[in-house]
Structure 1
Amino acid sequence: MAEFILLLIIPFVSSMFIGTHCIERPLIKNQELVTNYSYKLLSSVPKNVSLETTVLDLSHNNIKNLETTDLNYLLYLKVLNISYNLLTELNKNIFDSNNHLEHLDLSYNQLKNVSCTFPDNLRYLDISYNHFRTLSVTRGLGNLVKLEYLGFGVEQFLHSDFEAISQLKLQRVFINLNNLSDYQNGSLLMLNTKYLHLESLLMKKDIFNLLFDAVNVSESLELSKIDNVVYGITSNILRIAKNSRVTDLTMYDFSLPWNILTFILQVIWHSPVEKFHLSEFTLVGFINRVQFDYSNSSMKELYLNNIQSKVFLFNQTILYRLFSEMNIENLTVNSANFLFMECPLKPSSFQYLDFTSNAMTDDVFQNCATLTKLRTFIMVDNKLQALVKVSSMTSKMIALQHLDVSRNQLHYNEETCSWSQSITKLNLAFCSLTNSVFKCLPKNIRWLDLSKNDIAFIPLNIAYFEKLEYLNLAYNRFFDMPDCTLLPRLNVLHIEYNQIPYPSTDSIHKCKNVSRINMGNNPFHCFCEIRTFIKTVRKSPERMNSWPENYVCELPDNVKGVMLADFYLPEIYCNIYILVPVIVVPIILGLALLFIVCKYCDVPWYLKMIWQWTRTKHRTRKSQSGDWELRRDFDFHAFVSYSEHDASWVKHTMLPSIENTDNSIRICQHERNFLPGKPIVENIINCIEKSYKSIFVLSPHFVQSEWCHYELYFAHQQLFTEKKDNLILILLEPIPQYIIPSRYSRLKALMAKRTYLEWPKEKSKHGLFWANVKAAISINLSDLHHEEPHSETQVLLHDQENIHSSEST
């Protein structure tokens, strides 16, 4: 029964009955509560079914009985499927509480009688494949004025049994004839239906009388599972066809030889039948040439689907010529393994040709000039290869409007194409085509499907497609929207499932006249560039198909999965005109303010001096914490060396600032501490050796003094011989390098390598200056007998290479 789909049934019911599993799944769809208990080996109806259930599936179980209490509390039940069970009877009042029941499937059970009263709202009732002897069980169906579908099967067809349902206006009736044993003539004529389906036509008594009535019940007749009837039909088919009112005939699931097929086809050709569908049939026997009369026919459409042949050696021209010469409008031959099709010998009536899923090559209909009325040509899933040959195939089809050659492995080598100028709709989906395909397209095309190909962009050197209104580029390799200036009338654009990170502003602007765009399921990069696209969509979201659910960020990872409609990036991150005044300008102003403060407040100098004082104090403590023994005693904290021109500054500024009243710091000065009578050089050496440090007051005058040079020499020697860091350099005045004589190489070397203290002219800085000097020479001389300065420790700051030497230069 799967092939019968109810016309007016709740949309979701059919999906519930197919492919279900042993899982209880209450689902709410369209305000309907669906409960699935199929395939659970149940022997009775579960007691825990929700009161709100509207759709209940109990199919494919082992339920034998239905009790009144099983269903009477399901007041909202609309659909009940209890097919494929073991029901033998139904309680009379079983459905009394189910006033909303519209769909009831009781097929494939073991019912022999139905004594229950069906709800008045019932639209679909299937009681086929049970054990009914007669149709008397349906006498209670006469009140079901809303019934549209009825399926049943009985052993005996009696005229009186159909009187009860003769007043029903049914849309579709299905009758299973598998158990038919007796048919009373005229019984089926009592039915009032638009579509009659008879299944399992076996060679039985009165089968032809039944068929004779069947062709007069409805204009649409379907015959399926026909076995051996065709072998006895030849003597009756003329009578059946002559008295038939059927205009739409469908036959499927049967096999027959070639001569009987052509005979039946010839008889139907001259009957009132306008549409003849043959599906799921097998051709047997030998195929030979037959004389077929195509004249005086009502036939408009012949549909052949899934044709299997057990004949392999035959003249294929016989088969193809039979169909090519048919004077009908529509011919469909699907899944029949046709290798070729003959060109009609004279102007054909074909307006619609469909050869889907065959094995035809692009040699078919080449140079065929008789298909002048053909409007629709479908060659889906064949063996077409060259796009140029496909175009030439259509060149003489002057009325062709719709061509579908999708699902073929086509290629194009940039040859000249010759399409029919009448083509307005072309389907080239799933054909492995590249960008060059745009050079081989009909110029008057209005509808074009190029989905599932290998196209990355539309070449700019092609002619305009001035009439193109619909373009499908889904499942390709586009990195941006196409240039819509080439498509001035484009109305609908599909470009989903490509590689577009974000549509460029230029492409959005060029496609502003396109009213419907589907760009979903692209790997969108949610950076600044995509903001323009989001703003454009928000202005007219109805223009973008599947917005917003199919427009999701792919990168960066922190927003992956976020819909573009919910993505937000502040303006300041993307707009340089805002970024400059908000971030860059304050930074520039801050730097300028810092420069001004440093320049006019000498902040760097203060920082440098504080740093020197801190490092000096640290090193002094570290030196005094050692347990090395000195090799001799010190009498002075420092020996001061200076030029006579700087004596006034030393005597009146330096010494009073360093020496305290309690003589805690003692300075060795040559005027007061040199021993009379001794040579000057000896006094210098003795004073340097008895002093913990040596202070040199540097100035241009210092450079010109020979004695200062001696004193510096001896102190420098002591630095290397005893590895004692004992030098303190005070730069009283700047000394340009060029005025230092070349013979004073040691002075140049010291000034280049060692950090010195510069005397500040500002009085406010003197305090910090003298604090640094005191820190450099501060030591308790009484403890020197137990300590020795670290041989590699500098009293001043860590050497900062070339800082002051470059300044002095």
Structure 2
Amino acid sequence: MVENRRSFTNSFFCSCVFIITLWNYIKLSDEYEFIAKYSSTVPEDHFYYETKNLPPSHEKRPDNRINHSSWDVVHNTSDSLELSNISENSINDLIQLLSTFNKTSKIKKLTLTNIKTPWKSFIKFLQIVWQTSIEYFNINNIKLLSHIEKQIFNYSDTSMKALTIKNVSIEIFYFSQNDLYSIFSEMNTEALTISDSKIIHMLCPSKPSIFQVLNFSNNDLTDMVFEDCENLFLLETLILQKNQLKKLSKVSSMTSKMKSLKYLDISRNLLYINENGNHCNWIQTLAKLNLSSNKLTDSVFGCLPINVQILDLQNNLIRTVPKDVAELKALKELNIAFNGLTELPGCNHFRGLEFLNIEENSILTPSSDFFHSCQNIRELRGGHNPFQCSCELRDFINFEKKSGGRLIGWPESYVCEYPDGLKGTQLKDFHLSELSCNTTLLLIIAIVVTVLVVAVTSFLCIYFDIMWYLKMMWQWAQTKRRVRYTHPEDLQNILQFHAFISYSERDSLWVKSHLIPNLEKEDGSVQICLHERNFVPGKSIVENIINCIEKSHKSIFVLSPNFVQSEWCHYELYFAHHKLFSESSNSLILILLEPIPQYLIPARYHKLKALMAKRTYLEWPKEKSKHGLFWSNLKAAININLPVSAKDNTINI
């Protein structure tokens, strides 16, 4: 109970002090008007003050003085203070105000905004703050007036940890750069920021510095900054974003003596690297490097710190990742978005890569090498590329299915661009069958089908004797060619015979004893072509057969089981059948000497089967009484008046 009462009493006392103090602030209406803000989200009272200039009439009042007893309460109860809109006429009062601070003040953070001050006054209040309890000093929008000249600055006995100066403007154009930069280069703070100020150089500290963080972003620094600087061996973070740096090799040499450097941001500069390659000499401790928004090409991969872990190369001119780059074993994160990549880089040189960003490139179909080599990828940003939806994209889609969410932005950012028929289709809705994309399977099926086609074709060729017919066609064509180039006097384009007789030698007895005597007349009015008497010596058998068939009005085939066993009879039947179709004639006469069972007719004699099925044939009667009618019908079929010239030439063709 006693402790609770004491706690209540202390709280009540603090509240009373706070109310009295706040009332004093509200009553202050001299040169500054203070607006107190209290934040209940922190354990102690935090007041932020904004100074506003009052009308000039107030400035002329002789009693315009700050109540320093009230300020004693401020810097003993708050740890953060902000003053703004400080004119040149108010600088002395500001200096007087800051002079009330000391090492015992509770204020740790001071912010000055919108200041106009002479150079000497700036150094003066900076010196005062340097030796107070303030650890973080921010100056925003400051305009330096009057001439800049060398000033003595005491850096000892300070609590300052970080000084931040943003948006500095200088009205004086002619001054010694060393007088300006030497003040900042020798500061004994852990962090220094001078940004948005168009400074063109920064001196190297003259002695070993305790700087751990330097931020000189959005200035006009060149490659000469910190050249051959050996006193920044404690520096861990260096930010030179948005300056005028050009040669990457010189920037790498700058870091070579910064023994503790871990993070370097040189983005948004004009950096390039010669295609011939420059020697790069990075400090080995560098783990995080930001090279985004420069003019770097593929050659940059030959000029990278070997131990880098996080690398940002977005928004450059990179088209591909070379195959012969040095292996970056420590690299875990690679950002290569907004370039001109046409394929995913493999991880053969980045074995430890866990995060990859390749958004906004020109990747049509990710290479299969990526999926085999990048086994450790935990997150991949690959959206907003003009994907060509084809078989090659199936591995990429399967990567998402198997990875379980490793593709960041899936499925909204992954859309087909080509072909036109699939434009706008999300990759998750794009499907192709295994058969249409599996080259090995497709090749096996093609081979099997080819083998089957060859086997079936071979079987049909053998069964129907296709090769035999091809051979006959070739011989027919050769004979026709020879006839075409023969002299006209050697050609006889008129019929010379009434009939050509085709028969088997085994049936020659019937042909010579019955057929020939009954057809040929003693007066020679009927001419019969027989191979043994009318074939021309010196010509091939096939040529003689063709000539006899073409010079004969009819072709008589004596059919019997012996006929279907004769190879030459088959030739004669083939060429006669060819003439039947080529000349649209009715030149075939079939005499069935003996019945022929269908099973005796070979498969290659399908023309004979077709002729016997479609055409009328004469059947040799066994009864003698019917022989007269048979010969009458046969003579009538071959009856034709041959030209005289043909009758005169009965032997030679």
TM-score (norm 2): 0.66
2:501 counterpart of 1:501: no
Show the counterpart of 2:267: 406
Show the counterpart of 2:114: 253
CA distance in structure 2 between the partners assigned to 1:241 and 1:465 by the alignment: 52
Amino acid at match of 1:208: I
8 Å contact 2:82–2:111 — kept in the other structure? yes
CA shift, 1:402, in A, is: 1.3
Show the counterpart of 1:28: none
Question: Of residues 510, 520, 544 in structure 1, which corresponds to 2:407?
Answer: 544
CA distance in structure 2 between the partners assigned to 1:212 and 1:229 by the alignment: 23
Partner secondary structure for residue 418 of structure 1: coil
Show the counterpart of 2:83: 223
Show the counterpart of 2:301: 438
Aligned length: 512
Show the counterpart of 2:644: none
8 Å contact 1:189–1:217 — kept in the other structure? no
2:327 counterpart of 1:464: yes
Show the counterpart of 2:186: 325
Amino acid at match of 1:201: K
Show the counterpart of 1:555: 418
Amino acid at match of 1:532: D
2:621 counterpart of 1:770: no
Pairwise CA RMSD: 4.9
Show the counterpart of 1:526: 389
Q: 1:752 to 1:220 in 2, by over 3 A?
A: same
8 Å contact 1:303–1:332 — kept in the other structure? yes
CA shift, 1:536, in A, is: 3.0
* Cα deviation code 1:319-356 (max 9, x no counterpart): 11111111111000111111111111111121111111
Amino acid at match of 1:559: L
CA shift, 1:728, in A, is: 8.4
Q: Where in structure 2 are the equivalents of 1:299-314 lying within 5 Å?
A: 299-314=160-175
Question: Of residues 200, 210, 230 in structure 2, which corresponds to 1:369?
Answer: 230
Looking at both structures, which has the greater relative contact order when contacts are Cα pairs under 8 Å and sequence separation is at least 6? 2
Name which of structure 1's ranges 515-524 and 762-771 shifts more when overlaid on structure 2.
762-771
Question: Of residues 211, 225, 249 in structure 2, which corresponds to 1:350?
Answer: 211
CA distance in structure 2 between the partners assigned to 1:581 and 1:644 by the alignment: 55
Q: Where in structure 2 are the equivalents of 1:132-211 lying within 5 Å?
A: 163=19, 195-199=46-50, 201-203=52-54, 208-209=66-67
Q: Where in structure 2 are the equivalents of 1:81-96 lying within 5 Å?
A: none
CA shift, 1:453, in A, is: 2.2
* Cα deviation code 1:505-561 (max 9, x no counterpart): 333211112333333333322222222232233212333333333232232222223
CA distance in structure 1 between the partners assigned to 2:154 and 2:370 by the alignment: 60
Show the counterpart of 1:71: none
2:356 counterpart of 1:510: no
2:157 counterpart of 1:296: yes
8 Å contact 2:211–2:232 — kept in the other structure? yes
Amino acid at match of 2:261: L
Q: 1:757 to 1:411 in 2, by over 3 A?
A: farther
CA distance in structure 2 between the partners assigned to 1:462 and 1:580 by the alignment: 36
Amino acid at match of 1:484: C
CA shift, 1:424, in A, is: 1.9
Show the counterpart of 1:421: 284
8 Å contact 2:293–2:316 — kept in the other structure? yes
Show the counterpart of 2:478: none
Q: Where in structure 2 are the equivalents of 1:702-717 lying within 5 Å?
A: 704=535
Amino acid at match of 2:615: W
Q: 1:160 to 1:351 in 2, by over 3 A?
A: closer
CA shift, 1:275, in A, is: 0.8
8 Å contact 1:388–1:417 — kept in the other structure? yes
CA distance in structure 1 between the partners assigned to 2:606 and 2:432 by the alignment: 55
CA shift, 1:161, in A, is: 14
Show the counterpart of 2:311: 448
Gaps spanning 5+ residues in structure 2: where? 1-14, 469-494, 511-517, 537-543, 559-565, 589-604, 618-653
8 Å contact 2:38–2:45 — kept in the other structure? no
CA distance in structure 2 between the partners assigned to 1:507 and 1:161 by the alignment: 68
Amino acid at match of 2:245: L
8 Å contact 2:499–2:555 — kept in the other structure? no
* Cα deviation code 1:657-692 (max 9, x no counterpart): xxxxxxxxxxxxx979x9x99x95xx99xxxxxxxx
* Cα deviation code 1:616-656 (max 9, x no counterpart): xxxxxxxxxxxxxxxxxxxxxxx99633746999xx9xxxx
CA shift, 1:234, in A, is: 4.8
CA distance in structure 2 between the partners assigned to 1:206 and 1:561 by the alignment: 71
Q: 1:212 to 1:302 in 2, by over 3 A?
A: same
Q: 1:468 to 1:189 in 2, by over 3 A?
A: closer
CA shift, 1:198, in A, is: 3.6
Q: 1:441 to 1:645 in 2, by over 3 A?
A: closer
2:498 counterpart of 1:642: yes
Partner secondary structure for residue 116 of structure 2: strand
Amino acid at match of 1:202: N
* Cα deviation code 1:587-625 (max 9, x no counterpart): 7646755775687579999xxxxxxxxxxxxxxxxxxxx
CA distance in structure 1 between the partners assigned to 2:149 and 2:355 by the alignment: 51
CA distance in structure 2 between the partners assigned to 1:264 and 1:284 by the alignment: 15
Show the counterpart of 1:492: 355
8 Å contact 2:579–2:585 — kept in the other structure? no
Gaps spanning 5+ residues in structure 1: where? 1-158, 167-174, 606-638, 653-669, 685-696, 717-726, 741-746, 773-809
8 Å contact 1:528–1:569 — kept in the other structure? yes
Amino acid at match of 2:314: S
CA distance in structure 1 between the partners assigned to 2:34 and 2:224 by the alignment: 53
CA distance in structure 2 between the partners assigned to 1:266 and 1:698 by the alignment: 137
CA distance in structure 1 between the partners assigned to 2:78 and 2:166 by the alignment: 23
CA shift, 1:191, in A, is: 8.1
8 Å contact 2:35–2:49 — kept in the other structure? no
8 Å contact 1:351–1:376 — kept in the other structure? yes
8 Å contact 1:274–1:298 — kept in the other structure? yes
CA distance in structure 1 between the partners assigned to 2:364 and 2:106 by the alignment: 61
8 Å contact 1:162–1:190 — kept in the other structure? no
Higher helix share: 2
Show the counterpart of 2:241: 380
Q: 1:248 to 1:238 in 2, by over 3 A?
A: closer
Partner secondary structure for residue 401 of structure 2: helix
CA shift, 1:269, in A, is: 1.3
Show the counterpart of 1:271: 132
CA shift, 1:478, in A, is: 3.2
Q: Where in structure 2 are the equivalents of 1:74-85 lying within 5 Å?
A: none
8 Å contact 1:162–1:187 — kept in the other structure? no
Amino acid at match of 1:766: L
TM-score (norm 1): 0.54
8 Å contact 2:198–2:219 — kept in the other structure? yes
2:333 counterpart of 1:482: no
CA distance in structure 1 between the partners assigned to 2:586 and 2:188 by the alignment: 115
Partner secondary structure for residue 249 of structure 1: strand
CA distance in structure 1 between the partners assigned to 2:35 and 2:567 by the alignment: 133
CA shift, 1:572, in A, is: 1.0
* Cα deviation code 1:360-381 (max 9, x no counterpart): 1111111111112111111111
Q: 1:309 to 1:239 in 2, by over 3 A?
A: closer
CA shift, 1:303, in A, is: 0.7
Partner secondary structure for residue 66 of structure 2: helix
8 Å contact 1:698–1:729 — kept in the other structure? no
CA distance in structure 1 between the partners assigned to 2:96 and 2:75 by the alignment: 13
Q: 1:228 to 1:321 in 2, by over 3 A?
A: closer
Q: Where in structure 2 are the equivalents of 1:50-89 lying within 5 Å?
A: none
8 Å contact 1:643–1:701 — kept in the other structure? no
CA distance in structure 2 between the partners assigned to 1:183 and 1:317 by the alignment: 36
